[in-house]
Structure 1
């Protein structure tokens, strides 16, 4: 097996090889480190790295696998890259900001704690824009992250480093957080899997765990790996008041979906969609039809007011207010886009603008809820443009999608609508590539709390298309 083949193994494949003693966790981690030293300078998806201590943990995992009858965790010895916005005990978390360059956390966030307890080995942190504010992954502390499929383009954000690292074969597993699509946007733009669970399904750390629009979840190169991570992560946690008591186990293997009822919309009724995204989505729907699913186009009756009201939440809650708080003492350390965000957020009316997204969410669910009651899942694009340029300005008022003027931050993504509908599980799954070679993707949206059905649809699709990254011709040219 070549070094590249090792680096593109799924966690499921790696675990099977570990158990058969045909691969060592040390060998896998060494391969990833070596590839990272060669590839990462052009992609710039890693923040801090912990190679020395990670190799020591890999050697300990190797010893467990070599010992006959020894118990091993569900992710024992599997390399994991953690977004630089999730706490890792004893390590700094910068949130992509110079303000926090020396901030060391005393304990890990619950999701990270569970992944480590299952044996995952954290060897690197992945880049994020300042405060996770943007779909463009660049910051003053870490610089500009690029899309492995075409380095002129961005990897999406805010979990852009995680998406890029997976696509480039620089990690086996990665984590992300998602307040407006920050797992699914980069998953879509980089051609990997990203799962946004219902709020509270995966325990989180403060203050994000109290934000109803916020979610933490897995990012992987296969649906099976996402299921593997999800089954480790989910369930109530004593340090997260918002974590839900019910724990769900999602399927790890594909099953028949004949008769599954799938509703879809290409544009949600109001969004401009690039031709490559539209074409690849319709092709993906044909795959579901070939599997025996009943696929029906629907009209949700949503309008652009969805986006307008969604923005009130970002401006008014912690996600937006933190820019105002930090500006008072640290403006000289902040990025231009964070300062502009603070300026916009400071103009919002606290009482009125907090209420607007709640009212809009209720109105949206009056159509989506009955539709999902009559169908198993709903499908739409993840991003309505494959991506934006790596150095895209999220405040560029001349920005267009499909030839039409669009909001430069939210106008190219179709994810934040389902953060407002925070109890719906959503997975981003690749659908193909645009002419630029940048991937396109679809969102599979489930009924509230029905994670398993989303995974069932995604696993069937993955099996039908033969998976991703399974050969050199399915990987970026790096």
Structure 2
């Protein structure tokens, strides 16, 4: 088996090879590490490589597979986690240069505990923009993270390094976090499958009303296996749901016949979907209709700028994080100037402004959830644009998260939402289509996403060698 074939294996194929002794976690890790170290200078997606620690984990996994005592679907799988996922003894910088001297984390976030208990082999952390407050791959600490499908193009964010590294074969899956689309956006830009679970399905710290952790991988089956491991209850996260015990990868096949699926291509405000993006969503709708689903236009109930109060909330949140940074010089090496300028605007808002924005968000949430009544699922763009240059903070410099309008709303409603690559544009850049379901129906969202993945007319030619 060539290195490219090994790197491109599914998690199912990989663990089957471990079970049959055709492959060992140690030799797989050596190959993945070599590949990751070779390509990372081009994409700048990984930092804090820990080859010795990873090798010790791989050796433990190898012993378990030999003894027939594997810990589950991730035992021995080389993978990464995002900078913002706290792990004992690992750095936690949140993408900010001013944090570079902080000591390693002294606690584990729930995803870190779940992965360790599952035998996953974590060999590096992934890059992210400052504070996680840009849907882009630029960071004062990490620099510019580049898309392996085209190095001039953006990875999206904030799980920028996770998207780029998995697409380029530097690990099989990764854990990202999502506050306004930060799993789905880079997954879409990088051609991956990704899921923002129902809020609380995957516990995370610090506990948050908008942000949650989610799986990213090269296939729906792979992210389903990762979700199986990440789903648990943790009382430290006050939003955590009881563990459902579902082995998601075992239930992905579903006949979509009879499902009522809405087709959303206009949020009713803000940026409109580019023609290539709109075409990809409409084509996905036709595929589902051809399989027997009822697919009809879904009209957004939103008229006013529903993103504006979210932006205000995040701006205040950003200001509080900025104000708590260690002493620094406010240079581009300490904090990204776009993030700094945007965060400083948060100081201008009063408590009444913040409370008013929360009320506006609640009204938006109620309207959107009411519009979902009678629909099983809705498909929509993940992003209104295909891509933008790698060095840019977003489509808009003034409001770097403005292009997250198709994703950010569903962080507020707490609904599960996925993305899967359903087309490429003329530059051969990926276009993701989003699947949104009702709260707690994470499995159903994955099933519809899997159906779309199975029906797409092309094979993924993954950029294991990053492309100029």
* TM-score relative to the length of structure 1: 0.91
Deviates more, 1:80-89 or 1:31-40: 31-40
Residue 46 of structure 1 and its aligned partner are, at CA, apart by 0.6
In structure 2, the partner of 1:191 is 191
Report the Cα offset of residue 301 of structure 1. 2.4
Change (3 A) 1:432 1:247: same
Residues in 2 aligned to 1:19 and 1:35: alpha-carbon distance in whole angstroms: 24
The alpha-carbon distance between structure 1 residues 320 and 289, as it changes in their structure 2 partners (threshold 3 A), is farther
Gaps (5+ residues) in structure 1?
Answer: 400-406
Q: Is the 8 A contact 1:337 1:394 kept in 2?
A: no
What corresponds to 1:338 in structure 2?
339
Partner Cα separation in structure 2 for residue 472 and residue 362 of structure 1: 42
Alignment of 1:263-274 (within 5 A): 263-270=262-269, 271-274=271-274
- 1:76 matched to which residue of 2? 75
Q: Is the 8 A contact 1:431 1:442 kept in 2?
A: yes
How much does 1:382 deviate? 0.3
Q: CA deviation at 1:467?
A: 8.1
Alpha carbons of structure 1 residues 412 and 447: separation in structure 2 relative to 1, 3 Å: closer
Pick closer, same or farther for the CA change 1:49–1:104 going to 2, 3 Å: same
Partner of 2:237: 240
1:286-297 equivalences in 2 (<5 Å) = 286-297=286-297
TM-score, scaled to structure 2: 0.93
**Pairs within 5 Å for 1:382-393:** 382-393=382-393
Query: Which position in structure 1 is the counterpart of 2:11?
Result: 11
Query: Residues 59-208 of structure 1: matches in 2 within 5 Å?
Result: 59-67=59-67, 69-101=68-100, 102-206=102-206
Match of 1:402 in 2: none
Contact 1:179 1:215 survives alignment (8 Å): yes
2:405 and 2:155 map into 1 onto residues whose CA distance is: 13
User: Which residue does the alignment assign to 1:323?
Assistant: 322
* Structure 1 position 328, deviation (Å): 6.9
CA contact (8 A) 2:313 2:354 kept: yes
Q: Give the match's secondary structure for 2:214.
A: strand
Please report how far the alpha carbon of residue 327 of structure 1 lies from its aligned counterpart in structure 2 after TM superposition: 8.0
Note if contact 1:79-1:122 (Cα within 8 Å) is conserved in structure 2.
yes
Distance 2:216 2:228 in 1: 13
Counterpart-to-counterpart distance in 1, 2:350 and 2:176: 30
Q: Against the structure 1 CA distance between its residues 335 and 98, is the aligned structure 2 distance closer, same or farther, given a 3 Å change threshold?
A: same
Task: Tell me the residue number matched to 2:445.
Answer: 454
Separation in 1 of the partners of 2:205 and 2:240? 10
Give, in whole Å, the separation in 2 of the partners of 1:32 and 1:466. 29
Note if contact 1:218-1:230 (Cα within 8 Å) is conserved in structure 2: yes
Write out per-residue CA displacement over residues 112-138 of structure 1, whole angstroms, 9 at most, x where no aligned residue.
Answer: 110111111110111001111111112
Counterpart CA distance in 1 for 2:311 and 2:327 is 22
Equivalent position of 1:409 in the other structure: 401
Distance in 2 (CA, whole Å) between partners of 1:467 and 1:311 is 37
Tell me, yes or no, if the aligned pair for 1:75 and 1:118 is still in contact at 8 Å.
Answer: yes
Give CA-to-partner distance per residue, 1:215-247, whole Å, 9 cap, x none: 111111111111111121112113323212353
Q: Tell me how many residue pairs correspond in the alignment.
A: 462
Contact kept, 8 Å, 1:327 with 1:342, in 2: the verdict is no
Which residue among 206, 216, 221 is the counterpart of 1:219?
216
Q: Measured at CA, do residues 443 and 374 of structure 1 come closer, stay the same or move farther in structure 2, by a change above 3 Å?
A: same
What residue number does 1:403 align with? none
Match of 1:258 in 2: 257
Contact 1:88 1:112 in 2 (8 A): yes
**Deviation digits for residues 33-62 of structure 1, max 9, x if unmatched?**
111222211111111111121012112211
Q: CA deviation at 1:14?
A: 0.9
2:340 matches 1:349: no
Correspondence for 1:442: 433
Shift of 1:345: 1.0
Give the Å deviation of 1:299.
0.9
What is the CA-CA distance between 1:213 and the residue it aligns to? 0.9
Say if 2:23 is the partner of 1:56: no
Q: In the TM superposition, what are the counterparts of 1:361-376 in structure 2 within 5 Å?
A: 361-366=362-367, 368-376=368-376
**DSSP-derived class of the 1:441 partner:** strand
Alpha-carbon spacing, 1:467–1:90, altered in 2? closer, same or farther (3 Å):
farther
Q: CA deviation at 1:427?
A: 0.6
Quickly say closer, same or farther: Cα 1:37–1:327, change in 2 above 3 A: closer
Structure 1 residues 327 and 90, CA gap change in structure 2 (3 angstroms): closer
Contact 2:388 2:395 (C-alpha < 8 Å) held by counterparts: no
Kindly tell me: are residues 416 and 315 of structure 1, through their superposed partners in 2, closer, same or farther at Cα, counting changes over 3 Å? same
> Quick one: distance in 2 between partners of 1:132 and 1:215?
12
Q: Which moved more, 1:459-468 or 1:412-421?
A: 459-468
Determine helix, strand or coil for the equivalent of 1:213. Answer: coil
